[in-house]
Amino acid sequence: MFKGLSALQESFRFAVNAMKNNILRTFLSLLGVTVGIFSIIGVLAAVDSLDKEIRGSLSSLDQSTMLLTHVSFGPTEVPRWKREQFPVVTYEEYQYLQRSLPDLKAISYGLNVAPQTIKYNDETLENVQIGSTTEGYYDIESIEFQEGRFFSEQESVNGNPVVVIGDEIRNKLFGQNGSAVGKKIRLYSRKFTVIGVMKKEGAGVFGPSKDEIAIIPATIVMRIYGGNNRSVFPIITMLPEEDADYDGFLAQAEQKLRQKRGLKPDEVSTFFINQLKGFAAAIGEVIGVLKLIGWGIGGFSLLVGGFGIANIMFVSVKERTNLIGIQKALGAKRRFILFQFLFESILLSVFGGIIGLVLVWLITLVLTNAMDDFEFVLSFFNIMLGLSVTFIIGIIAGIIPAIGASRLDPVEAIRTGM
């Protein structure tokens, strides 16, 4: 056993010396592997970071959430000309579903409107995103507050001039440690009373972060814009009870709205129920495709790098044929010669991979510092994956030259090298 370990140690030492004696060739050999690992792990790290950010943004929403509107968020067989004629969902339909839909945990009606200007004394914020919704939004989004509360059902129905603001808006209008609850701000040329400040959320992937929005009752916006204004984008968000049959609830919601709109059995539904569950699955598919693209891009570089290492190993065997003959004549075993060249190939590949990983790590640090509220992550799994891939590439690239070197006849090797 000790002889075997000694032979491995000696083979490793020979491999390291061979690399030291040919610095330029060593650098050029590992360059291909460096580029390959940098491409693969760089893309995987970027995709994982994006995936983490997306799923973090969706974490506040239950996966069984459904979005009812006049447009589809995914592919549909309904022709475009017909979709453009679909009526928007209305506040009356929201109230109807709220009353009649069984197994309903929460429902909200929202209007997407243009950004507005908010004023408080001498402070002015422009292009602030306005969230216009009903009281059910609180239960669907699982909003947390650092101060105050969300508006009640009565305040929502009556259209009271109350507003819930994000952390960034609070900081800009009232200062970092200033209290906002009870203060009056001007919005839509009206005075609104701040009743709540949401906890800091961070950057949002889909649209603005909650830190940068102001939420007011939808009924106020309906009075401002009018009931038939096509410039607003209405949407009904539904969340079934946890123990409810998901497919059954979906069918019930569609049936209820078809009944409300008086659609005949042979008529197509003039609305879409977009499922967050399907959206999350679609995101997973996109993430998978992006990872495959990363493997495709880096795979070619790794292939070139592997061929480069194999080529260098064949050259090394040829250059050291005389030395191999002398070593074998002095009693060196075939496995000693094999491990000597195999270690050299593995070291070249692993060193190239380590350099690639270090470059990816440095770039993740730079990008994380440069982009506010977005963290690029180089996971332990991706690090181990990169090292494993380079180790395998080293074995594959070096095994044939190493076997060839170990099988050389000592007499012929000495003669050839002279």
Cα torsion for 136, 142, 143, 145, to the nearest 10°?
A: 120
Return the closest-CA partner of residue 43 out of 278, 389, 276, 296: 296
Tell me what pLDDT residue 235 has. 92
- The alpha carbon of residue 16 and the mean position of all alpha carbons in its chain are separated, in whole angstroms, by 40
Say whether pLDDT at 50 is over 60: yes
How many whole angstroms separate alpha carbon 199 and alpha carbon 16? 56
- Sign of the C-alpha dihedral computed for residues 33, 35, 36 and 42 taken in this order: positive
Return the closest-CA partner of residue 127 out of 137, 113, 139: 113
How many whole angstroms separate alpha carbon 95 and alpha carbon 108? 9
**Mean pLDDT, residues 285-305:** 74
Task: Give the angle 249-254-256 at the CA atoms, nearest 5°.
Answer: 90
How many whole angstroms separate alpha carbon 217 and alpha carbon 237? 15
Share the mean pLDDT of the chain: 80
Residues 226-241: tens digit of each pLDDT: 756 667 889 999 988 8
Cα torsion for 209, 70, 52, 383, to the nearest 10°?
A: -140
Say whether pLDDT at 62 is over 60: no
Contacts 24+ apart (CB under 8 A), 334-339: 334/406, 334/407, 335/7, 335/406, 336/7, 336/10, 336/11, 337/402, 337/405, 337/406, 337/408, 338/402, 338/403, 338/405, 338/406, 339/7, 339/8, 339/11, 339/12, 339/402
Supply 353's token pair: 């991979």
Q: Parallel, antiparallel, or unpaired: how do β-strands 116-120 and 145-148 relate?
A: unpaired
Residues 165-190: tens digit of each pLDDT: 988 899 888 887 778 899 999 998 89
Model confidence at 9, pLDDT cuts 50, 70, 90, reads low
Tell me what pLDDT residue 389 has. 84
Residues 323-354: tens digit of each pLDDT: 777 777 777 777 777 777 787 788 878 888 88
Provide the residue type at 149 as one letter. Answer: R
Residues 133-153: tens digit of each pLDDT: 999 998 888 788 999 999 999
- The alpha carbon of residue 233 and the mean position of all alpha carbons in its chain are separated, in whole angstroms, by 27
Return the closest-CA partner of residue 203 out of 191, 213, 194: 213
Return the closest-CA partner of residue 52 out of 383, 400, 368: 368
Q: Which of 64-68, 75-79, 115-119, 373-377 has the lowest mean pLDDT?
A: 373-377
Tell me what pLDDT residue 25 has. 67
Say whether pLDDT at 84 is over 60: yes
